[in-house]
Structure 1
């Protein structure tokens, strides 16, 4: 009789553990993408320091398009051997990693 009562208590206890609702934590990740607003400028309006960086760093490439933001940073699109590349520089011609 003790075994029967003990078995019933173990089985009911085991079932009640499985019926418990596990606590779930919902994490919300908020990400903000900050993009500087670039406005297109003429290739001729690009400073000489930026043009010399293009000539020295990317030999044989051609400056196709240029954009400028409020911080005097330039987004440049160059082409070399049929492929287009985009990179960023400051007004002095230093390459910026973005």
Structure 2
């Protein structure tokens, strides 16, 4: 009986030595956000090309506010139905993805 218990202990002990430890790896993702400085402009100062592009692409859009940055890119706060959002365009009326 002693040999049976001793052999069982040896077998169980040897099985536990083969257990593998899974290494935990943590990936650090660093994101950088740049915030551009926009200054508000009057709606009358928005170029005609941008207003035409807005009416052509979004006929039901209402322009609430307009902003400009140093690169002459415009940020437009618009309302379409019950949704509000931002659109970006350059001074020639071409849409910019941001």
TM-score (norm 1): 0.75
Rounded Cα–Cα distance in structure 1 between residues aligned with 2:9 and 2:24: 30
Paired residues in the alignment total 97
Corresponding residue of 1:46: 46
Separation in 2, partners of 1:95, 1:56:
12
Q: Which segments of 5 or more consecutive residues in structure 2 lack a partner in the other structure? A: none
TM superposition score normalised by structure 2:
0.75
- Aligned pairs for 1:39-78 within 5 A: 39-78=39-78
Is 1:13 aligned to 2:10, yes or no? no
CA RMSD of aligned residues (A): 2.6
Stretch deviating more after TM superposition (42-51 or 9-18): 9-18
Q: Which runs of 5+ in 1 are unaligned?
A: none
| In 2, Cα distance between equivalents of 1:62 and 1:11 | 75
Name the residue aligned to 1:87: 87
